[in-house]
Structure 1
């Protein structure tokens, strides 16, 4: 997979101010406000920065946290994890491995089969419904 790199000006031109804040500045949307937190339509969630398919709807579950949650990415090579020590906490940040966009965080409290909860900002993704 080829890395996608853009200048700050190119990111600002491509993304809305809200998307830029989350994806490029590691922001977080408020719980229960994102476009996809309660979506159950079958389809694929893609990176807002580069369009890489990241999560499938059949791995999405209601974690009750107010953000879209998935127990597994489509391809683990498409996401990268880094230690995040911001806000006085130690968490595992999830980024798109193709364009380095901030997606959210992963926690070890998800359902089987992985036991993981990828807690992802709606603003970090676009949604492509399955063709009817």
Structure 2
């Protein structure tokens, strides 16, 4: 089972809708379920829940020059979100494979997001109505 917050999926879908017909990709990070505020269902407190993303456009010029994503902290993301504006909900050879990849398709809602492992095997996605704790700049 893969856990993600409704808020995260909603924001990612909004990005995808705004970018259509272009694709969107974003690095995703997790927070332990026990650190979330709201309903975490049956998730164990140590269960990683996808809660945060790194803006897909930050550092784009540096990426273009050096060919690597320098906008995302190394080894701090456990997943990736990709949009498929043409509606194919499955992973493709062009998708950046992380341990977990979320694929969003139109209409851009959390219900139209699927999760896959790095072998393209569909995973059960559990959407939680919870939020990560607020973090101040500098923490």
Q: TM-score, normalised by structure 1?
A: 0.27
TM-score normalised by L of structure 2: 0.26
Greater relative CO (CA pairs within 8 A, separation 6+): 2
